[in-house]
Amino acid sequence: MPVSYTIEGEVLHLVMHGEYGPEEIRSRVEEALADPRLPHDVHFLFDTRPSTSLASRSTAELRDMAGFLGARSQAFGGRLAMLASEPLHFGLLRMAEVYSEFAGLQARAFYDEFAALAWLGVER
């Protein structure tokens, strides 16, 4: 499955693998947020490190995804940590930070998972 999620304690970890479309992200996010195992005070980690699709996303797609996630941000405390593995992806996620602000979502891009979790308030 190109987009998958796990619930690890208080962390919802959504991972984008290889090739996928925005609709696959939306579908998996909806599934994850409806999962009865999801804790009430969940922290959201959006992991694009294994993605080969992110580089081809348009600014409109980034803006639309920010709006989609922003509309659901109360379910995960209004904060989203995004993980990148390369400079191009990091730059695109930095653009997504700006779009997220307009959607009422506080999002931050990181290379380091521990830094991302610390920013979310997760102790590991």
- How do residues 38-81 score in pLDDT, each as one tens digit? 999 999 999 999 999 999 999 999 999 999 999 999 999 999 99
Beta bridge partners of 23: none
C-alpha 37/C-alpha 3 separation (Å) is: 18
Identity of the amino acid at 110:
F
Q: What angle do CA 93, 39, 65 make, to 5 degrees?
A: 25
Domain locations in the chain?
Answer: 3-120
Q: Which CATH class is domain 3-120?
A: alpha beta
Confidence class for position 122, pLDDT limits 50, 70, 90: very high
Q: How confident is the model at residue 124 (pLDDT cuts 50, 70, 90)?
A: confident
Longest dimension (CA), the chain: 36
Structure token pair of residue 76: 């995960």
Is residue 107 scored above 80 in pLDDT?
A: yes
Q: Which two tokens stand for residue 40?
A: 């009430």
Which pLDDT band holds residue 12 (cuts at 50, 70, 90)?
Answer: very high
pLDDT at 21 (0 to 100)? 96
